[in-house]
Structure 1
Amino acid sequence: MRRFIFTLGLLASVSFGSVADAQSARVRIVATGGTIAGAQAKAGEYGYKAGAFDVQQLIDAVPNLNKLAVISGEQVVKIGSQDMNDEVWLKLANRVNAILNSPDYDGVVITHGTDTLEETAYFLSLVTHSDKPIVMVAAMRPATAISADGPGNLYNAVAAAASPLARGRGVLISLNDELDYARNATKTNATRVQTFASVNRGPAALANTGTINWFAPLEKKYGRTSVFSVDGLTSLPRVDILYAYPNMSVDLIDAAVKNGAKGLVIAGVGAGNMTEPALNRLAEAAKAGVVVVRSTRTGSGIIYRNNEIDDDKMNFVASGELNPGKSRVLLQLALTKTADPRQVQQYFDQY
């Protein structure tokens, strides 16, 4: 009910985009695998193999998709998104940037698994530098399931990517008749189709069979305004996420640092807190040059600087709205620029 009321409150600033807005737009669909391309081993069984179908099969499975835009596709990888890694991120980012820089395409749609969709989407929002639309799309049910959600999600994703009103909005995520900004969206349920939500904010748009109702743009830095780039990068700095809990040990902190972590994100209890032994050991790690970011395991809320913990004294970074997964993404990119926690904090405030 709360989200419904919030959505109604946004309608005063809505912009409408119809299926007919951009039928001549040229949209490139980039496939990576995931549940949206998944096939069940046997009819009626819950288990399935991710990435079983290729990009052309996904395109062919959606009726009237070619009426939305001029469609073409390519397969970058064919994996479940639980296996997404830095190498694929860099490959995908370079390919998407090349497509965006080409005069042959007006927008990009990327198919992806839901498990790590929010991290990939946020990463791309920080390292792609174009006003052309980028829409990530996924599904909670495999392509062979009864009432598969992938075709409808893909239809809306193409409609959004073809819309002139999507320009300059950065990376969007399309699922369950909703579009969310990559920075804001998170997966909130392991199995239900309405899993993705912008828990601290509202959606970027609502979709209805290709008609997109746009809301206010995002005010943070992304796309053209981002200072981050993958040009020349062959790897990303190691950043580990550690989960806080009662009687949290320092062993995992020591192991992460010993094994080369340049940054640590703490999925803290409450407002980014942790046990006193862990806190003290992290302060030692920060003093030694490891950048420590405090986030929260609660799933929503804002981690304010110097709230409960003296970040200034301990040289920690407060994550603000970013959850642990997205904090890790931003910290990896921040570390390609600096290891100064004060500068890293500025990145977290701005992005």
Structure 2
Amino acid sequence: MSKIAFIGTGGTISSLGKGPLDIVHYGATKSMLPAGDILAAVPQVHEVAEVFPVPFSHVPSPNIYYPEWKALAALCLKLVDEHPDLSGIVIGHGTATLEETAYALGLLLKVSIPVVVVGSQRPLSGLASDASMNLVNAVRVAADPNSRGRGVLVLLNDEIHPARDVTKTATYRLQTFKAADFGMLGYVDGPYISYYRRSERVTAPETEFDSSDLDALPRVDITYAYAGADGVDVDAYVAAGAKGIVSAGFAPGMAPPGQMVALERAAKAGVVVVQATRAGSGVVHDSDRLAEINFIPADNLNPQKARILLALALTRSSERAEIMRMFKTY
């Protein structure tokens, strides 16, 4: 039987509400189970693999950022070193920032075994909760030899997604995680795991980024395009010390006039600007206009993931051509 480590970071998948009908306001109880108690509540995981809990802080996912990403990357490496027979790792996570943690780990991890990030839309205590089935399926995916070499995976609602492409699209629906441009990698139907495609982009562990000697990420902010935006937020980000700014622009990648003036001013001051789109899917391509003002196209990364890649890229270079290479690579 495959050996799987389960790291619990908190979130809905670990949460207990006031009762089975509390599937909206359960966060008010501030009751989240550690990894061992989650496994005890879902004993079926032991029917599909030998699963053991790994202690980690359990917090709401909006509280998670680089310190937790660094700690998770180090913990995964430690688990592989201590357990040579380990087949995979499952990380329980709140869905609010699940896609960001998964993508960050896809850029930072230095382990070759499958790592699957899993969450749920309903608390563990909720009626018809998806927490138990999602956890069992995540363990199945992590234990599957065919999951190797696919980078960090995200599992919810019987669907396997690549960390780079997936995003949360609905507040409460169980089918919230989707990869708009390219779709999922595969399905889990009971014991059957079916893969249908691979991502062409480089992912862990074959990346150039390393969190082991990186204490913090440079400040990178996101400015959101809307009719009449005047760019005052951009100026505030620059004043606060931003090294990079991601523009979540109108499709196919443009900011309103006032915001554009502020972004160009920031770029001239040495702030690296990446042009993304708020559309939810599609590519921002390079152009003579972007090159002229020294902006970098985000490819098809959404703004929140473009921010992560830009922050990591800035730890290595601030040159447009070099950061563009990274956006085409990852």
TM-score tier by shorter-chain length is: over 0.9
Question: SS state of the match for residue 136, structure 1?
Answer: strand
**Quick check: 1:33 aligned with 2:10?**
yes
**Quick check: 1:89 aligned with 2:66?**
no
- Output the amino acid matched with 2:70: L
CA-to-partner distance for each residue in 1:51-98, whole Å, 9 max, x for gaps?
611111211222431122111111311111111122112111211222
Question: SS state of the match for residue 76, structure 1?
Answer: coil
Normalised to the residue count of structure 1, the TM-score between the two structures is 0.90
Check conservation: 1:32, 1:51, Cα contact below 8 A.
no
Equivalent residue, structure 1, for 2:275: 294
CA distance in 1, matches of 2:114, 2:69: 18
- Output the amino acid matched with 2:11: G
Residues paired across the two proteins, number: 326
Cα deviation for residue 269 of structure 1 reads: 1.3
Equivalent residue, structure 1, for 2:99: 118
| Counterpart mapping for 1:60-71 below 5 A | 60-71=40-51
Normalised to the residue count of structure 2, the TM-score between the two structures is 0.95
Equivalent residue, structure 2, for 1:48: 26
**Quick check: 1:280 aligned with 2:275?**
no
Question: SS state of the match for residue 149, structure 2?
Answer: coil
Cα deviation for residue 116 of structure 1 reads: 0.4
Equivalent residue, structure 2, for 1:270: 251
| Counterpart mapping for 1:237-248 below 5 A | 237-248=218-229
Check conservation: 2:281, 2:302, Cα contact below 8 A.
yes
Cα deviation for residue 281 of structure 1 reads: 2.0
CA distance in 2, matches of 1:184, 1:203: 9
Question: SS state of the match for residue 326, structure 2?
Answer: helix
Check conservation: 1:51, 1:78, Cα contact below 8 A.
no
Provide structure 2 residue ranges, at least 5 long, that are not aligned to the other structure. none
CA distance in 2, matches of 1:239, 1:318: 15
Identity of aligned residues (%): 37
Cα deviation for residue 104 of structure 1 reads: 4.3
**Quick check: 1:334 aligned with 2:313?**
yes
CA RMSD after TM alignment = 1.4
| Counterpart mapping for 1:1-351 below 5 A | 24-45=1-22, 46-49=24-27, 52-102=32-82, 103-306=84-287, 310-351=289-330
**Structure 1 302/89 Cα, relative in aligned 2: closer, same or farther at 3 Å?**
same
Deviates more, 1:318-327 or 1:90-99: 90-99
**Structure 1 181/145 Cα, relative in aligned 2: closer, same or farther at 3 Å?**
same
